[in-house]
Amino acid sequence: MSDSFENAVNVLTQAKKAVALTGAGISVESGIPPFRGKGGLWEKIDPMKYAHIDAFLEDPKTVWDVLIKNMKTVLDKAHPNAAHTGLADLEQLGILQTVITQNVDGLHQRAGNRDVIEFHGSFARMHCQSCDWAIETAQVDLSEIPPRCGCGGFLRPDCIFFGELIPHEALFRSQQVSAACDVMLVIGTSATVQPAASMPFIARDNGAVVIEINPEPTSLTQRISHLPLMGAAGTILPRLVGTIRQRLATP
Ligand code: APR
């Protein structure tokens, strides 16, 4: 067992209000490709042409054809993996308080976590770009692309496009819990997109221990992460939870 892993077990076993910041990497083992790095979606399509609000306003059909339809196909098949389950276990153990996720796949909630901040929104719901009328994604009639609202406007997922603001409530609460946490688990994120990537800095500045889980080093690894655990989340998290359970069971 590496020193970092052992130290992470010790720190998490004592933690009472840990917070996790998760990114696309935690869902890779659920079959959802990341955005950057090996097999990344943005290596195949230009996010500024297909994932920016201006692109949607200018040509909603192309954004639906190139990005949104494919996202729905992938997300409809995805299920929580051992990493998501591991975070739900940490909540059950009274160690983890909140998950701040950049993902829109809803897998943390399906794994059992009850306090999840969807920092970039959710693909589970859609709304009309013109009148804000809302509908569950599963109810949307996809016989016409882009699907329209009764008012004639175009429907789009409740996900934050590039060029749009993070919902105030999500941003404010994420900053609050990051400032108050005793441990921040940073899992499966390249930490390249702001303001999500500022949360580990806020946590560290307020005295939290930062544990990073990622097969690759990121811009945080040398600067912010006290305990970098290099590897896949689906392997590391269950191992952490299993060792913590043993530690807690041993008087
Ligand atoms: N376990 C843990 N981490 C992994 C795994 C895995 N099995 N596989 C890949 N990773 C790591 C990669 O090394 C990378 O650092 O996950 C990270 C994924 O990075 P990105 O694809 O950039 O995803 P993310 O950080 O969530 O992107 C942030 O950018 O495009 C926007 O809105 C989008 O929410 C997204 C935001």
DSSP for 170-220 reads HHHHHHHHHHH-SEEEEES----STTGGGHHHHHHHTTPEEEEEESS--TT
Q: Which residues contact 215 (CB under 8 A, 6 or more apart)?
A: 25, 230, 231, 232
CB of 230 sitting under 6 A from ligand 1: no
197 and 222 in a single domain? The answer is yes
Query: Among candidates 31, 50, 51, 47, which has minimal Cα distance to 39?
Result: 31
Q: Which residues contact 36 (CB under 8 A, 6 or more apart)?
A: 42, 43, 190, 192
198 and 250 in a single domain? The answer is yes
Burial class (CB in 10 A: 0-12, 13-18, 19+), 58: exposed
Residues annotated as part of the active site: 120
Return the structure tokens found at 1: 């067992």
CA of 190 to the centre of ligand 1 (A): 5
Number of structural domains the chain divides into: 2
Domain housing 42: 37-77+124-158
Please, are residues 187 and 83 in contact by the beta-carbon 8 Å criterion?
yes
Query: Among candidates 187, 204, 197, 183, which has minimal Cα distance to 238?
Result: 187
Instruction: Indicate if the alpha-carbon torsion angle 150, 156, 162, 165 is positive or negative.
Output: positive
Q: Which of 158, 176, 209 is the last residue of a domain?
A: 158
58 and 149 in a single domain? The answer is yes
140 and 250 in a single domain? The answer is no
**DSSP 8-class letter at 162:** B
Q: Whose CA is nearest to atom 29 of ligand 1?
A: 193
CA of 251 to the centre of ligand 1 (A): 38
63 and 89 in a single domain? The answer is no
Q: What is the pLDDT of residue 2?
A: 79
Please, are residues 189 and 102 in contact by the beta-carbon 8 Å criterion?
yes
Ligand 1, atom nearest to 213 Cα: 2
In angstroms, how far is the first alpha carbon of the chain from the final one?
Answer: 21
62 and 182 in a single domain? The answer is no
55 and 85 in a single domain? The answer is no
d(CA 247, CA 251): 8
CB of 102 sitting under 6 A from ligand 1: yes
- Which domain CATH number covers 136? 3.30.1600.10
Ligand 1, atom nearest to 160 Cα: 32
Neighbours of 224 (CB within 10 A): 20
207 and 89 in a single domain? The answer is yes
58 and 22 in a single domain? The answer is no
Q: Whose CA is nearest to atom 3 of ligand 1?
A: 188
Q: What is the pLDDT of residue 1?
A: 64
Q: What is the pLDDT of residue 141?
A: 97
Please, are residues 156 and 127 in contact by the beta-carbon 8 Å criterion?
yes
Ligand 1, atom nearest to 159 Cα: 32
CB of 36 sitting under 6 A from ligand 1: yes
The per-residue pLDDT string of the chain (251 residues; one tens digit each, 9 = 90 and over) reads: 679 999 999 999 999 999 999 999 999 999 999 999 889 999 999 999 999 999 999 999 999 999 999 999 999 999 999 999 999 999 999 999 999 999 999 999 999 999 999 999 999 999 999 999 999 999 999 999 999 999 999 999 999 999 999 999 999 999 999 999 999 999 999 999 999 999 999 999 999 999 999 999 999 999 999 999 999 999 999 999 999 999 999 87
